[in-house]
Amino acid sequence: MKSQPALRRFHAAVQNALGLVFPNVCQLCGEQRAESSEGYVCAACWHRPDGVRFIREPFCDRCGLPYEGEITGVFQCGNCAELDLAFSHARSAVHATRVVMDVIHRYKYSHALFLEPFLTDLLLRAAVPELKGGSWDGLVPVPLHPTRLREREFNQAERLAAALATATGIPLETGWIERTRFTGTQTALTRSQRGENMRGAFKPKEKPNLKGLRLIVIDDVLTTGATTSACAAVLRRAGAEEVIVWTVARGT
């Protein structure tokens, strides 16, 4: 593993290389200045009405669904009532606004890796203060099916988890679960259909012994929680004591 100074030199070299390929212009609006370290997203796009909105309380204590209004005390939403979720709780950094989802879609489906610093920054701002010093044993990115991985050439959840691992010191664990069934997109499915679609989609790799471990499943977007819950269920059956979820964005 590279030392911290070596990592800084490596990242600086990457940023310099990106500067040769992409002008320092926002890749969303094409008008304002934005640098590679910002993921080429400018301050004006950040602050648009459909721009970045960090999630603040009140939200569902179980799945993290934001609630617009006044709530006193702990509450759980209707989404959690419909699904038997295997994780203890889920949290997300930001709302799945138009700007955030535009970046995520381009990042995932158009191989726009130059947008990655924008997404990792959102995740780290929200997750690091909550996770540091919490005695967590591992970050487990949601795995892609081998077919999807060949198409995309990278697993966005794994890359996001790697950035979080560097920031928190929590180990990145990619060898504990695998996706064994190609499920396709969840977008057009109902909540109950999403849960059924994920049934049996994941399994443990080589029967890991996770007895007593406290783990964090990482993904880019959480909507109903069906995918991350399916991963959490596999980890729990392998012995994990507690599993929570963190994602960049929270859809509805």
Residue 86 CB neighbour total at 10 angstroms? 20
Give strand pairing partners of 59. Answer: 66
Q: What tokens were used for 119? A: 């997404």
Distance CA 194, CA 187 (A): 9
User: Among 33-42, 188-197, 214-223, which stretch is predicted with the lowest mean pLDDT?
Assistant: 188-197
Which parts of 113-190 fold into alpha helices (H)?
Answer: 116-131, 146-152, 156-168
pLDDT tier at 157, thresholds 50, 70, 90: very high
Q: Would you call 119 helix, strand, or coil by DSSP? A: helix
Say what the pLDDT of residue 23 is.
76
| Alpha carbon distance 181, 145 (integer Å) | 7
What number does CATH give the domain 61-67+76-250?
3.40.50.2020
Q: Is the pLDDT of residue 2 over 50?
A: no
How many CB atoms are closer than 10 A to CB 141? Answer: 25
Side chain identity, residue 198: M
Q: Beta strands of 173-240 (E only): which ranges?
A: 177-179, 202-204, 214-222
Give the pLDDT confidence score for residue 19 in this predicted structure.
54
**Owner of token pair 């069906």:** 226
**pLDDT score recorded for residue 128:** 97
Q: How far apart are CA 26 and CA 43, in angstroms?
A: 9
Mean pLDDT of 171-178: 95
Domain range annotation of the chain: 10-48, 61-67+76-250
pLDDT band per the 50, 70, 90 thresholds, residue 17: low
The model's pLDDT over 34-66, given as tens digits with 9 standing for 90+, comes to 998 899 999 999 999 999 999 998 899 999 999
Q: What is the pLDDT of residues 240-251, one digit of tens each?
A: 999 999 999 999
Give the model's pLDDT for residue 107. Answer: 96
Q: For the ranges 4-8, 35-39, 108-112, 146-150, which has the lowest average pLDDT?
A: 4-8
